Amino acid sequence: MNNIQRITIEPGKRGGQPCIRGMRITVYDVLSLLAAGISEQEILDDYPELDHEDILACLSYAAEREHHSTRIAM
C-alpha cells in the first residue's frame, strides 16, 4: 500500500480533516506531535493503533500538499 493511501478524508469525521486509515487521528495531530519534539516511538506508544507506516504517510501527505501549494503559487 502506498503510504499516502493510508490518509482518508470523510466529511463527517473530524470536520473533514485528513485522518489516518479512517480513524479519528488526524494528520495534523501526528505532525503537531512531531513538531513539538515528541519522538515517533513515543507517538506509537501513546497511540498503539498507529504504526510506522502511518507516521510516514502523514509526512508524505504533508510533503505532497506543500509541493502542490508551492506549484500553485508560482
Please tell me the pTM assigned to this model: 0.85
CATH number, domain containing residue 55: 1.10.10.10
The pLDDT of residue 3 = 86
Confidence category of residue 1, pLDDT binned at 50, 70, 90? very low
Q: Which amino acid is at 3?
A: N
For residue 22, the enclosing domain spans 3-73
Q: What is the pLDDT of residues 28-46, one digit of tens each?
A: 999 999 999 999 999 999 9
- The answer on pLDDT for 48 being more than 80 is yes
Domain count along the chain: 1
Q: Distances in Å between the alpha carbon of 34 and those of 12, 45, 47, 71?
A: 26, 14, 13, 25
Instruction: For residues 34-62, give the mean pLDDT.
Output: 97
